[in-house]
């Protein structure tokens, strides 16, 4: 039987005709949007509470029945119990959408083994248990038509498992390490599922989601004591989205839901093991456009300090020294002032500014001025904790290619480079992000500059 015809997703009385679907994470905006996408193709997503949503959908889509279920996605027993109840009540199972998620701490130094375990449970255990137990239930065929609305006999083995995850599972670095590792694990379930499901008629696919506007204004305050579980508020600004996202805006829950609905339906009958990236093109901008943060935002500063192992006082001092160093710039030709400051692991601050020359190639950048001063003052390679540069332009300017190579000579690839603009904005990148596939002292057999020199 041709599943593309038998399971056409668009019917006048229901999006997935006669299907029985499980959606986890249904109390969250994306999960709610997925429920509405599976319920009816023309129903707008609801921003109401889950209980109100059920009543609303029952009225607008009378042939769709939504059953709330207290389900612990991280336990195998709960998964088996749910599947047994579904088969007992409805006689079939067709779609399983996993959309639960947890961010975890932003910094590895604040991440405990418990935090990591919780992230893996939220991201990867639910898809794992679905992959392990749902296919057998999806392969059961009805001998009699059920009594529920839209019930039809299941005449072939069919099923679709959809894992809604994060773009952190495709390239990482979106948030903290536990979030990135768990997102990769979820995508690993999708990849491994292709061989597991061979011959079952069941498909498994992933949806990697980027920034989505879920209707929560982060602002400057704590969000139910969970300020460390959210990205910086500045990422919500229209300016930040325009710079970092190809479509210049955050996504909407229903846009994620439509992709999940496509993967659940027969329109995707020949797609399995795929991962559809739904991020508005942001992943293509990741390397070249780090988000613009604000020096006046305590949330941004706290997040930066946690991510890059700095104290708020160190951050403030880096900003002050880098900005004040611009006044020492000798730039009569370009009029482009640059200030730089190096923070050593011993707590010293070494400043520098760009020094131009009538013979342009003789010009020395602020970063190289600072490093020459530091090295000739006795600071050893590998003894630096952070580098900050400041200019008068916006968005923040990054070190030039020559300076990136200079930094590579004396610093660990993990060192943060903080770039301040002429106002309150700043951005941060690690050296490895600014200088990928770099050539350094270790390439010539010289000891790693991040390790203390032997005496």
- Which one of 367, 409, 414, 433 is the catalytic residue? 367
Q: Is 360 annotated as a binding residue?
A: yes
In whole angstroms, give the CA distance from residue 92 to residue 422. Answer: 62
Distance (Å) of CA 410 to CA 317, 346, 363, 371, 440: 21, 15, 21, 8, 9
Q: Is 359 annotated as a binding residue?
A: yes
Q: In what order do the strands lie in the sheet with 416-420?
A: 293-294, 425-430, 416-420, 384-391, 338-344, 349-353
Q: Is 355 annotated as a binding residue?
A: yes
Please return the burial class of 361, using the count of CB atoms within 10 Å of its CB with bins 0-12, 13-18 and 19+: exposed
Residues 327, 390 contacting (CB under 8 angstroms): no
**DSSP state letters, 315-340:** HHHHHHHHHHHGGG-B-TTT---EEE
| Number of CB atoms found within 10 A of residue 424's CB | 15
> How many C-alpha atoms does 146 have within 13 Å on its Cβ side?
20
Reference 261, options 450, 39, 86; nearest CA is: 39
Q: Is 356 annotated as a binding residue?
A: yes
In whole angstroms, give the CA distance from residue 346 to residue 385. Answer: 9
Tokens found for residue 251? 């996504």
Q: Is 278 annotated as a binding residue?
A: no
Distance (Å) of CA 216 to CA 209, 284, 286, 314, 454: 17, 26, 23, 31, 52
Active site residue 36: no
Residues 69, 43 contacting (CB under 8 angstroms): no
Helix axes 113-120, 177-196, angle to 10 degrees: 40
Q: Is 365 annotated as a binding residue?
A: yes
For the annotated catalytic residues, the residue numbers are: 367
- Known binding residues are 354-360, 365, 400, 403
Specify binding-site residues for substrate: 354-360
| Binding-site residues from annotation for Zn(2+) | 365, 400, 403
């Amino acid at each position: 039987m041709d599943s593309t015809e038998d399971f056409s997703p668009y019917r006048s009385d229901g999006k997935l005709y006669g299907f029985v679907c499980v959606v986890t994470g249904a109390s969250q905006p994306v999960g709610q949007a997925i429920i509405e996408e599976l319920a009816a193709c023309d129903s707008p997503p609801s921003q109401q509470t889950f209980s109100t949503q059920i009543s609303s959908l029952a009225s607008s889509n009378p042939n769709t029945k939504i059953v709330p279920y207290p389900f612990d996605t991280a336990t195998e027993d709960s998964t088996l119990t749910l599947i047994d109840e579904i088969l007992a009540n409805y006689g079939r199972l067709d779609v399983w959408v996993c959309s639960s998620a947890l961010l975890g701490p932003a910094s590895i130094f604040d991440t405990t083994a418990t935090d990591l375990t919780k992230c893996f449970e939220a991201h990867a255990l639910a898809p794992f248990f679905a992959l392990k137990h749902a296919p057998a239930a999806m392969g059961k065929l009805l001998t009699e038509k059920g009594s529920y609305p839209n019930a039809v006999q299941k005449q072939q083995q069919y099923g679709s498992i959809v894992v809604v995850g994060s773009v952190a599972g495709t390239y990482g670095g979106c948030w903290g390490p536990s979030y990135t590792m768990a997102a990769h694990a979820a995508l690993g379930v999708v990849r491994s599922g292709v061989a597991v499901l061979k011959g079952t008629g069941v498909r498994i696919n992933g949806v990697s989601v980027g920034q989505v506007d879920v209707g929560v204004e982060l602002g400057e305050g704590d969000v139910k004591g969970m300020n460390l579980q959210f990205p910086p508020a500045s990422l919500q600004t229209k300016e930040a989205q325009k710079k970092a996202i190809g479509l210049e805006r955050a996504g909407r829950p229903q846009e994620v839901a439509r992709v999940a609905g496509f993967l659940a339906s027969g329109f995707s009958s020949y797609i399995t093991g795929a991962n559809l990236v739904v991020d508005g093109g942001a992943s293509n901008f990741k390397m070249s456009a780090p988000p613009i943060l604000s020096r006046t935002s305590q949330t941004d500063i706290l997040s930066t300090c946690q991510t890059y192992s700095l104290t708020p006082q160190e951050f403030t001092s880096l900003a002050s020294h880098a900005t004040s160093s611009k006044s020492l710039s000798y730039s009569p030709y370009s009029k482009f002032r640059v200030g730089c400051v190096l923070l050593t692991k011993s707590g010293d601050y070494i400043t520098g500014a760009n020094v131009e020359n009538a013979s342009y190639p003789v010009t020395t950048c602020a970063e190289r001025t600072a490093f020459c001063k530091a090295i000739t003052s006795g600071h050893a390679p590998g003894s630096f904790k952070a580098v900050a540069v400041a200019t008068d332009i916006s968005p923040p300017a990054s070190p030039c290619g020559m300076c990136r190579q200079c930094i590579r000579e004396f610093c660990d690839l993990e060192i943060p480079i903080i770039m301040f603009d002429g106002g309150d904005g700043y951005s941060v990148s690690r050296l490895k992000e600014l200088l990928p596939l770099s050539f350094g002292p270790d390439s010539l057999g010289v000891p790693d500059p991040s390790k203390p020199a032997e005496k």
